[in-house]
Structure 1
Amino acid sequence: MDQRTLQPKKRPCVDATLLCMLALMAFGYLLLHDLLGGTLLSHSAWDSYTLQAMAWRRGSLSLGQNYPWLELAVYQGEYYVSFPPFPSVVLLPFTFLFGENTPNNLIIAIVTMATAALAYRCLRRAGMRETCAVLGALLLTWGSNLMWMSTNGGVWFMAQALNMFLLTWALHCAMCKRRVLAYALVAFAVGCRPFSALAFFPLFLFFYLQDRRPDEGFCKTALRQWKAFLIPLGVAAAYMWYNYARFGSVLEFGHNYLPEFTEAENGQFHLSYIFANLKNIFLRPIAFGEGLSLEYPVFDGFLFYVANPFFLLLFGQIVSDARHRQMDAMRYVLLAAMLLNLLLLCWHKTFGGWQFGARYTCDLLPLALAYLCLAKRQSLCRWERFAAWFGILLNVYGALAMNFLHG
């Protein structure tokens, strides 16, 4: 017998399935942007992050002038970006090549493709077959409201796309036991969407359970992670300094100084907003109008689990885990983080302006992916595959509708 036949087969260095998925997505973006007028390499003017990066290069914290089409904070006669700053850090290097005209449409498309690749890797590491992992990754990205957001590099969409990318990358790092990088990525995500700080709780528990020894108390085990805490503490200090330097408060990143909220009776956050927002995202549907035309609101959201069917997979997995008595501390903490994040989002005066679906709930999708990975499933069942294709079709339609019907 040939000795070579006795040697174990080596796994291919290149994942052809992953490359095919990314090629499909790249071709899809090329087609979509062609319909939008050849905008893939263009700069979206709804981009205050690039303007902030340009201001940094001038040595200024304020933008120096008003841009009426952007949501800018007005404080002591100066105009500031009213969103957390990390996306400007990402865009800063591009300003040296492109100036104010960064190719943010291309950047957000690449970020979304990277998110899909990481989601695929997470599902594969959790034991899922290649084809099902591809479908799950596409459902998370193209089958969610991220699909429409990823066609425009505007400020609101860039923040959410980067947040999803960073949290999904953090999940992959956690599964690979790269805890320092995982904690750092969550800290960067907080600089995109502040409520992502809730992801620290399941991340901490995940590594705590790995480190726990029978003869150790909670504090001693928790302190085994001290090296991983250093970067998040440094990043948090940088965020607080930046907030204080602009607005005199370590917790204020500018949204409270938007005219929309300074003129509101109850301000930006108030308990009275919660019920109305929950009602909208749980009960407000897509309806049929004359000639079977679709009717749906483009402000404050509609059924989030229809607009983002990955949540249907989450709900199904929760039911399965409860029925088979597989609920454990990790699952409970993930669900608690998602629920608290949702309530905090509903505490906000609006649940997203001009949008298709309920785009704020995309912030929860990486945690939902983490929950699904705990099941270590090999495949998706029939109804889950149907939900995935439904979500992809609906959100591709949404991307086109928001540009051609509501643009």
Structure 2
Amino acid sequence: MNHKHFDFLFSAPIILLSIIAVLIFVSYSQTTYQNRQFSEQAYSFLHGRVDIPKAADTVDIDGKHFWHAPPFPSLVLFPGMLVFGKSFSEPIAQALLISFSAVLVFRFSKKYHLSRSDSMLVSFGFFISSVLVRVSLVPSSWHFAQIVAVALLLATVYEMETKNRIWVLGLLETALVATRPTAAGIGLIILYQLVMKKNDQLNNKIQQIVRFLILIIVAIIAMLYFNDIRFGGLFANPYALSSVSPALAPMRAMGVFGVQHILPNIYYYFLAPFELVKSSLGGIEFPYITFNPFGMSVFIVAPFFLYSLRTLKRKYSTLRKYWFVIGLTLIVSLTYFARGGYIAYGPRYVGDFMPLLLLLVLKSQEGKKLSNFQKLVIVSSATFNIYMIVSRMLVLLI
């Protein structure tokens, strides 16, 4: 079967899956209004405060409640709230960021010589055939921060692969540090390239390093001060203080980070299967399968991105640096108490390096079109993932 016939064959399922995905997003947007802590924080900023109404994962001090996460996602919402007030909330911003990111993935794919149709399929698969599927379709503050980080990391990688402007990279890395520090490891590659840049005078190197680091340092100082205002200490750890879900409390009691979490996390990241939906009589009932909210194997959720592993045999130093950052980010995630990112479809913290996996997949193609099998993997994975998201909705309803 030639590529044109194959593309036509799968166009209908992709359109149908996209419609279902939009409906899921809209449905959850109407029911997750209580999980919009970044919106509440942005609204508080507008009124000169830093506390928010009581919500999940807040830190409660002297009758006030503070959101525990870094503040940049609230700043993303700030301009919209200035114009539209509280009606401009996280789901709207999330939809805009996903659209922006999808365009970046499309342009990225075109840069690596994929056809227009292949680039659109990769852009679709980046969100629906990966660990980002539930993060994208279920608006909440935890997911919003992840989407902001993904958009920033995509923009950083795209800038590195195109114009490579130091001041732009510095701004993007600063925003990453103030969103999800675990997604900011790419800054190590940028620093390494600046230090090792050949045919460059020492003074020029120092100037470029300072230009890259200055805003990052300012942001870190500002975040420490923000910590002190909210929690009464520069180095207070809000992840140890927040009102965590009862399901996660026993894990956090063992420590926020630690080697004691590595083995359970390895299971939920790489080995955990889907679960059967059992009836009260012990049999299996519709929708038959669902996922464990602590996580499910990335090999089940995002098989297309395993093509990135083909670059491991390449000897290019740039590829090795990307793999180093992926490995470092993964190690940090595996020591974190929250398993795959409760409630998670697959290990959602893999999202902290998904743009790097995308880059490696594109580099592994070496300018070739997607094979029919690769297209089949993307579409079948998306179909399975959407079914699993819907099955979770049905299980909760039943």
Same-fold call, TM > 0.5? Answer: yes
Q: Is the 8 A contact 2:257 2:335 kept in 1?
A: yes
Identity percentage of aligned residues? 17
| Inter-partner Cα distance in structure 2 for 1:200 and 1:37 | 35
Q: Secondary structure at the match of 2:50?
A: coil
Assess, with a 3 A threshold, how the Cα gap between structure 1 residues 225 and 147 changes in structure 2: closer, same or farther: same
Equivalent of 1:189 in 176, 179, 189: 176
Equivalent of 1:286 in 266, 274, 277: 274
| Inter-partner Cα distance in structure 1 for 2:31 and 2:285 | 36
1:247-283 per-position Cα deviation (integer Å, ceiling 9, x unaligned): 2444446222113388743232221011111122211
Tell me the amino acid that sits aligned with residue 194 of structure 1: P
What is the aligned partner in structure 1 of residue 258 from structure 2?
A: 270
Tell me the amino acid that sits aligned with residue 109 of structure 2: L
Do residues 295 (structure 1) and 289 (structure 2) align? yes
What is the aligned partner in structure 2 of residue 152 from structure 1?
A: 138
Assess, with a 3 A threshold, how the Cα gap between structure 1 residues 168 and 86 changes in structure 2: closer, same or farther: same
Q: Is the 8 A contact 2:134 2:389 kept in 1?
A: yes
| Inter-partner Cα distance in structure 1 for 2:144 and 2:269 | 22
Equivalent of 2:310 in 313, 316, 326: 316
User: What is the TM-score of this pair, normalised by structure 2?
Assistant: 0.82
Do residues 349 (structure 1) and 337 (structure 2) align? yes
- Summarize the alignment of residues 225-244 of structure 1 with structure 2, pairs less than 5 Å apart: 225-244=209-228
Assess, with a 3 A threshold, how the Cα gap between structure 1 residues 122 and 225 changes in structure 2: closer, same or farther: farther
What is the aligned partner in structure 2 of residue 81 from structure 1?
A: 67
Give 1:220 shift. 6.6
Tell me the amino acid that sits aligned with residue 225 of structure 2: W
Do residues 368 (structure 1) and 362 (structure 2) align? no
Do residues 404 (structure 1) and 398 (structure 2) align? no
Q: Secondary structure at the match of 1:391?
A: helix
What is the aligned partner in structure 1 of residue 50 from structure 2?
A: 61
- Summarize the alignment of residues 25-174 of structure 1 with structure 2, pairs less than 5 Å apart: 31-34=20-23, 44-63=33-52, 65-67=53-55, 70-174=56-160
Q: Is the 8 A contact 1:166 1:185 kept in 2?
A: yes
Give 1:338 shift. 0.9
Aligned length: 372
1:185-208 per-position Cα deviation (integer Å, ceiling 9, x unaligned): 122122221212211112334555
Give 1:296 shift. 4.4
Q: Is the 8 A contact 2:174 2:219 kept in 1?
A: yes
| Inter-partner Cα distance in structure 1 for 2:243 and 2:358 | 36
Tell me the amino acid that sits aligned with residue 35 of structure 2: W
Give 1:166 shift. 0.7
What is the aligned partner in structure 1 of residue 280 from structure 2?
A: none
Give 1:162 shift. 0.8
Q: Is the 8 A contact 2:90 2:141 kept in 1?
A: no
| Inter-partner Cα distance in structure 1 for 2:116 and 2:189 | 27
Q: Is the 8 A contact 1:43 1:105 kept in 2?
A: no
| Inter-partner Cα distance in structure 2 for 1:123 and 1:205 | 26
User: What is the TM-score of this pair, normalised by structure 1?
Assistant: 0.81
Equivalent of 1:245 in 229, 234, 240: 229
| Inter-partner Cα distance in structure 2 for 1:75 and 1:234 | 27
Tell me the amino acid that sits aligned with residue 149 of structure 1: V
What is the aligned partner in structure 2 of residue 378 from structure 1?
A: 368
Tell me the amino acid that sits aligned with residue 336 of structure 2: H
Q: Is the 8 A contact 1:212 1:221 kept in 2?
A: no
Do residues 202 (structure 1) and 170 (structure 2) align? no
| Inter-partner Cα distance in structure 1 for 2:25 and 2:102 | 23
What is the aligned partner in structure 2 of residue 358 from structure 1?
A: 347
Assess, with a 3 A threshold, how the Cα gap between structure 1 residues 43 and 302 changes in structure 2: closer, same or farther: closer
| Inter-partner Cα distance in structure 1 for 2:26 and 2:98 | 21
Give 1:43 shift. 7.2
Assess, with a 3 A threshold, how the Cα gap between structure 1 residues 131 and 184 changes in structure 2: closer, same or farther: same
Q: Is the 8 A contact 1:122 1:171 kept in 2?
A: no
Assess, with a 3 A threshold, how the Cα gap between structure 1 residues 310 and 194 changes in structure 2: closer, same or farther: farther
| Inter-partner Cα distance in structure 1 for 2:111 and 2:25 | 37
Assess, with a 3 A threshold, how the Cα gap between structure 1 residues 96 and 336 changes in structure 2: closer, same or farther: same
Assess, with a 3 A threshold, how the Cα gap between structure 1 residues 399 and 286 changes in structure 2: closer, same or farther: closer
Give 1:160 shift. 0.6
Tell me the amino acid that sits aligned with residue 95 of structure 1: M
Give 1:370 shift. 2.9
Give 1:330 shift. 1.6
1:220-269 per-position Cα deviation (integer Å, ceiling 9, x unaligned): 74654432333323322322221222224444462221133887432322
Q: Which moved more, 1:393-402 or 1:134-143?
A: 393-402
What is the aligned partner in structure 2 of residue 304 from structure 1?
A: 298
Q: Secondary structure at the match of 2:152?
A: helix
Q: CA RMSD in A?
A: 3.0
Do residues 393 (structure 1) and 383 (structure 2) align? yes
Q: Is the 8 A contact 1:205 1:330 kept in 2?
A: no
| Inter-partner Cα distance in structure 1 for 2:93 and 2:26 | 18
Give 1:56 shift. 1.3
Q: Is the 8 A contact 1:277 1:300 kept in 2?
A: no
Tell me the amino acid that sits aligned with residue 139 of structure 2: G
